[in-house]
């Protein structure tokens, strides 16, 4: 059965898309630690990040880097933090979180609430800074 993230890639479940290429997809985390918190996933359905091939991990990291650059331009921050963790969704994903402090990366923090319109604006703002090549 397809994961919820594969359904997002297929357009069967809506998402606030930030960026996409042939192999990877980036969209806003619906329970963000900070405004601009983005998930990067491979389109190929693999549960465990370290089961991706060397080539996939390399290409995914380069894709995530470009997304991080766009996030930082859209939402100025000290750094964009990156994390691979969590057991909730069995589809490999990288969290990218704009940080004003290391505490912004604590996944035990309460999650922020935004309206659908605010999420859409946030995704659009990051996407406007996205450079595909």
Binding site for ligand AMP (CB under 6 A): 4, 13, 15, 29-31, 39, 85-89
Selecting among 37, 91, 93, 95, the annotated active-site residue is 93
Least distance in Å: CB of 109 to ligand AMP?
11
Distance of alpha carbon 126 from alpha carbon 52, whole angstroms: 26
93 tagged catalytic = yes
What residues have CB less than 8 Å from 121, skipping those under 6 apart? none
Q: Judged by CB, which is closer to ligand AMP: 16, or 131?
A: 16
Least distance in Å: CB of 133 to ligand AMP?
26
Sign of the Cα torsion 58, 20, 84, 51 reads negative
Least distance in Å: CB of 18 to ligand AMP?
11
Q: Judged by CB, which is closer to ligand AMP: 18, or 77?
A: 18
Q: Judged by CB, which is closer to ligand AMP: 55, or 117?
A: 117
Catalytic residue list: 93
């Amino acid at each position: 059965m397809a994961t919820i993230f594969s359904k997002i890639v297929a357009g069967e479940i809506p998402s606030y898309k930030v960026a996409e290429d042939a192999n990877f997809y980036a969209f806003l985390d619906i329970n963000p630690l900070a405004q601009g918190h983005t998930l990067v996933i491979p389109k190929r359905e693999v549960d465990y990040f370290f089961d991706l091939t060397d080539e996939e991990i390399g290409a995914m990291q380069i894709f995530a880097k470009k997304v991080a650059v766009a996030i930082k331009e859209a939402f100025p921050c000290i750094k964009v933090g990156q994390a691979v963790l969590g057991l909730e969704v069995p589809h490999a994903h990288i969290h990218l979180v704009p940080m004003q402090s290391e505490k912004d990366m604590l996944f035990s923090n309460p999650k922020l609430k935004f309206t659908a319109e605010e999420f859409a604006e946030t995704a659009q703002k990051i996407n406007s800074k996205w450079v595909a090549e």
